[in-house]
Amino acid sequence: MSASINLICCNFSYVPQNSSKFKTLIRARNLSQQSPVLSKRTSNSSVFLKPNNRIALVSPFQQKGVLKICQSSLNTQNSEEEAGQDKGLSVDNGKEGRDWTTSILLFVLWGALMYYVFNLSPNQTPGDDGFRMNEVLVSQWYIMGLWPLVYSMLLLPTGRSSKNNIPAWPFLVLSFFGGVYALLPYFVLWSPLPPPVDENELEKWPLNFLESKLTAGMALAAGIGLIIYAGLANADIWREFFQYFRESKFIHIMSLDFTLLSAFAPFWVYNDMTARKWYDKGFWLLPLSLLPILGPALYLVLRPSLSDLPVTVSKTTSE
């Protein structure tokens, strides 16, 4: 191993070639290169093989006042390699763990969705007898009012974005009027992981309302009632609803909104579940979250409170 390196790499300003000490030094160096045992012993005891180590030697044959620094050539190579590795490591650590591919695909989906809504969706006015409302349509209308509440409970605080400091609440407020069409831009800009939650923040509005089991229970009860109300409708009422879906622009857009909100809910249930360190116990709720409004609402009732999770909630101390 030592035969491929130079133990000492020095250029003295003046060394007499007929010096006995100089010849002794050369013979010692050649002996260490030829003998593996001596080379190994030297590597354990010599300071020249230690990484990033320099030693100052003053030759007795040098001119007075001249000081030379000797360094192993192996040390120089190791130092350069380690510096390169440290530099690469710092670059890797500086990268954000954000999936830009997902953000781009969501942005493309949002753009295509908005183009479809304004240009390709049906725009007819179906006939109506004017005496009664379609039960399925009424149920869907009220469920669309529950979805923003459910998403607010899933996104605040565990769905907040920590790296770009974009607040979630403006998009959630707009979702009461625009549904998924207002939430998709936030999904594009969102990046994990959520910032820590202050313990005092859980006692204030709106987190005290969104973390309440009473709020989650009311959302679940309302969802069950509306689903049962639509499920009891007869076949003629369902055929009439599908006619509205094919012909009415408003009902077509609202039904598409309902479908997309149901499709995105399982991801945010999983995100909230992992943020609360509850995946091992609550993983069975993920398949149920595919059920429109009922699955996510059931999860909100059963999930643990953030106040019971000291890992997620940070306490503030006053000086």
Q: What is the pLDDT along the chain (319 residues), one digit of tens a residue?
A: 444 444 444 444 444 445 555 555 556 555 544 443 333 333 343 333 334 444 444 444 444 444 343 344 444 444 444 444 443 333 333 344 556 788 888 888 889 888 888 887 787 665 555 546 789 999 999 999 999 999 999 998 888 887 777 888 999 999 999 999 999 999 988 888 777 777 788 888 888 899 999 999 999 999 999 999 999 999 999 999 999 999 889 999 999 999 999 999 999 999 999 989 898 888 999 999 999 999 999 999 999 988 776 545 555 433 3
Please, which residues have CB within 8 angstroms of residue 273's CB and are 6 or more apart in sequence? 279, 282, 283, 285, 286, 299, 303
**DSSP state, residue 308:** G
Distance CA 9, CA 29 (A): 12
From residue 294, alpha-carbon distances to 42, 113, 191 in Å are 74, 25, 27
Query: Is the whole-model pTM more than 0.85?
Result: no
Strand 68-70 with 55-57, pairing: antiparallel
Tell me how far apart the alpha carbons of residues 103 and 212 are, in angstroms, rounded to a whole number: 31
pLDDT at 87 (0 to 100): 39
Contact 306, 202 (CB under 8 A): yes
Neighbours of 3 (CB within 10 A): 9
3-state secondary structure of 55: strand
50 contacts 97 by C-beta, under 8 angstroms:
no
List of residues 6+ apart from 40 with CB closer than 8 A: 1, 2
